[in-house]
Chain A
């Protein structure tokens, strides 16, 4: 008789002491125990047929123990003598005793003699020790544990109520429920009825044998016919179910753990790929865009430069904003990824060379540097080109007047008409020539002005400077020729004068007065048609004032005009009265018609000038309105943005909970989104201003460019803050940090974040750690400790520590859980304890996605015991955590 230290089988001792065994039970135990032994012996390629005889020499008994324990027993004695047999059985009994089982009253002799009761008792001891004792459910042991397992598994089945290991199993439904619970596809449970016990038992035993590899150990007829089935036989059989299913369950748990770990890896790798892709795209765009912004050359024409300004507007409004979003998203996904890696105990992520967050920040800074002043430069370029355009127009206008004046002068000077006239006419010709000479002298200034304008156009690099220079050159050359010809003609006239004497006096007065008046008229016309460019109301006011002053001289000029015209009328009257064939006035080229024509021109030009100046006045007033419109708006939007920026920056410093911070930030975010139309309105005002060619605005200190920069800073700051707070929440929740601990962390961090950049330099971080009680000494050891801490909080070597990294560091799990070992252990379970695994097992146990992930990455297993296609799950598991066994 056996006794267990845990004393769980007290009720059974009663019949044992009587030394009796119900013959029906004995029959059932023989069948069941034989089948149970064979279910193990078959692994060693053998079996027993007659349980009371086949164990008598002890050999198969030793083999059975080796198979079920997985351990080696001492070498059996090979002899056929009785004492050999007794020695072998004793070796088996010693082994069982060595497993902590007290064997009372079972002697080797009785086994060798084939005592049925003793043999069955010994086998039961083995079943108990090796198949049932290890079952532990919630600290209960053996029988109670197995019973509890059966009750839990059959709980959902209303017509099953397992209370023991005999009567509860008679109708067969409990067996069917156990199978259905684990493998529902094998049995159509809901078609079964408790009225067909034989059918139920047969169904369960067939399915168990065929699909679960559990041999039949019980006889359905025996179960149905016996008053109370043998408890030990039922327990032995049910324990086989437990082992079949709990093995599967263990594998499932292992597979789930591997899946969980791999999914984290796959998601992390996906995030890394996404980061790399985003980073490449963004860097590519920056690389493409920067040279365009750095290129400060134009085609030197107004339309070309305006086109460029239009392109720049497109860039600011359409192309840059999404890229700015990309940049923020990139930084945020980088932070999220690092948080995830830390939280899942993985090595930090190191982006490909050149794609670090700092690289992108540097490239972006380069872009903004190139962008800075680009618009200003374009506008100043526009202003310059516009001035040039006006100057060129002025040049052409002056050239035209001069060329009209100079037309025919060379022919006139070259004609030797004075040889064919009388003295009077000659004298007149001489006077006329003198007048011409003074006229010529008066034109000297104009030619010089034309040359000066041409010179200025050259200096300012007017695009069509060739045409200008050619025309200027023509005029200058002609001017030189005119000088020479004038001298020649005067010499000719003086030569002729000595021959001819008489002069005509009659026209003299007219000529004397008409010439200056004519000159005045030319000047007035020129002034009245003068083309001007103004930028302010003051300038146009000045022009209006000058024009008024000019108009006040008109009555005086009217008098002079009437006087001159009276002279001409007097000549007419005298000529008519004397019936004289009137020749042209020899003293002047200016005719009364010229004077009256030009005078009427001037009178028409005055009101026209009035209108032009008035129009310009209206335009300037409109410009002033546009400036005010922009300024009013800008003076409201600018401070708003600044206030928002201050408010966002101050959130992290306040002692409010993360959720409150997040809520506030979200409010700022939506307020900013709602405010966006103000920026758009400003952009419209700004475009109107640029299109009106307005370059300065004295009413506001804000320019569109500064406002845009502020706006983008605000958007970025909000998005970054939200991401930071969300990551902090993620860290806090996954680690269960209390609000008061959180406040300690934030208070110390803010205290050392002197310049409010929301990150600490290494020196500040060290002081912060010390203030929180870290024992960092002031020697080489302390320096080494601190360097080790830095490598944890700043794995990317960025040179600063964010609040989140600080928080994560302060709340690291104290126990360094060796998760690589856990994953390895899980693979080991799937692999059935082998040091390698096969693709087939992986595909069978894991979802397709994770199975392929493993198969692609696992190296072939190279141990001596490798099977074909064996894969190395150990190096794979360590590599997941950046480690390797060597």
Chain B
């Protein structure tokens, strides 16, 4: 369901990766979002591909560049709080509302 929530991630050491791939940022004119999640990592089961990241450790992330967000997440010690918006679907969401097969123009739809 559509909604915003805070995801708390925890890891054993700062050498251990959080286990998700970040995509987007203000410099890419695209909201920061989760591209994929690696199984068996602190992110597994917590984050899902397509989650939009709107906050990092209580800071508003909506205007951050990719590099700013990346640095903030990397320097976040062993606890990371991500405010995510989910339910509007991931990158595949658009595919799901697209017409199937060759398109046909019908102005009165």
Determine whether the beta carbon of A796 is less than 8 Å from that of B73. no
The smallest C-beta distance from A51 to any residue of chain B, in angstroms, reads 43
Determine whether the beta carbon of A751 is less than 8 Å from that of B95. no
| Bound form: Cα–Cα A465–B7 in Å | 83
| Bound form: Cα–Cα A545–B48 in Å | 97
Determine whether the beta carbon of A773 is less than 8 Å from that of B104. yes
Determine whether the beta carbon of A771 is less than 8 Å from that of B105. yes
Scoring B92, B97, B109 by chain A CB atoms within 10 A of each residue's CB, the highest score goes to B97
Determine whether the beta carbon of B35 is less than 8 Å from that of A883. yes
Given A771-B107, A775-B97 in contact, is the A784-B22 Cβ separation under 8 Å? no
B91 within 8 A of A: yes
Determine whether the beta carbon of B92 is less than 8 Å from that of A748. no
For A775, the chain B residues whose CB sits under 8 A away are: 97, 99
A795 within 8 A of B: yes
| Bound form: Cα–Cα A350–B27 in Å | 7
Determine whether the beta carbon of B105 is less than 8 Å from that of A885. no
Interface size class of A (residues with CB under 8 A): 35 or more
The smallest C-beta distance from B109 to any residue of chain A, in angstroms, reads 5
Determine whether the beta carbon of B30 is less than 8 Å from that of A885. no
When each residue 90-106 of chain B gets 1 if its CB lies under 8 Å from chain A and 0 otherwise, what string results? Answer: 01111101110011111
Interface size class of B (residues with CB under 8 A): 35 or more
Q: Which of A784, A791, A884 contacts B30 (CB 8 A)?
A: A791
**Chain A, Cβ-Cβ closest to B104:** A744
For B28, the chain A residues whose CB sits under 8 A away are: 347-348, 350, 795, 882
Q: Which of B24, B66, B88 contacts A781 (CB 8 A)?
A: B88
The smallest C-beta distance from B48 to any residue of chain A, in angstroms, reads 15
Determine whether the beta carbon of B92 is less than 8 Å from that of A886. no
Determine whether the beta carbon of A886 is less than 8 Å from that of B73. yes
A49 within 8 A of B: no
When each residue 593-635 of chain A gets 1 if its CB lies under 8 Å from chain B and 0 otherwise, what string results? Answer: 0000000000000000000000000000000000000000000
| Bound form: Cα–Cα A235–B103 in Å | 56
Chain A positions 772-793 with a Cβ under 8 Å from a chain B Cβ: 772-776, 780-781, 784-785, 788-789, 791-792
For B102, the chain A residues whose CB sits under 8 A away are: 741, 744
Determine whether the beta carbon of B29 is less than 8 Å from that of A773. no
A444 within 8 A of B: no
Chain A positions 835-886 with a Cβ under 8 Å from a chain B Cβ: 864, 878, 882-886
Given A791-B30, A878-B21 in contact, is the A886-B70 Cβ separation under 8 Å? yes
For B106, the chain A residues whose CB sits under 8 A away are: 771-773
B23 within 8 A of A: yes
For B35, the chain A residues whose CB sits under 8 A away are: 883
For A784, the chain B residues whose CB sits under 8 A away are: 2, 88
Determine whether the beta carbon of A785 is less than 8 Å from that of B94. yes
B74 within 8 A of A: yes
B17 within 8 A of A: yes
Chain A positions 747-784 with a Cβ under 8 Å from a chain B Cβ: 747-748, 751, 770-776, 780-781, 784
Spell out B's residues near A (CB within 8 Å).
Answer: 2, 15, 17-25, 27-31, 35, 66, 70, 73-74, 88-89, 91-95, 97-99, 102-109
Extra inter-chain contacts (17) besides given A744-B102, A745-B103, CB under 8 Å? A350-B28, A741-B102, A747-B105, A748-B105, A771-B105, A771-B108, A772-B105, A773-B99, A773-B104, A781-B88, A788-B94, A810-B103, A814-B95, A882-B24, A886-B19, A886-B70, A886-B74
Spell out A's residues near B (CB within 8 Å).
Answer: 347-348, 350, 741, 744-745, 747-748, 751, 770-776, 780-781, 784-785, 788-789, 791-792, 795-797, 810, 814, 816, 864, 878, 882-886
14 contacts between A and B (CB under 8 A): A348-B29, A744-B102, A747-B105, A748-B107, A771-B109, A773-B104, A773-B106, A774-B98, A810-B103, A864-B15, A882-B25, A883-B35, A885-B22, A886-B73
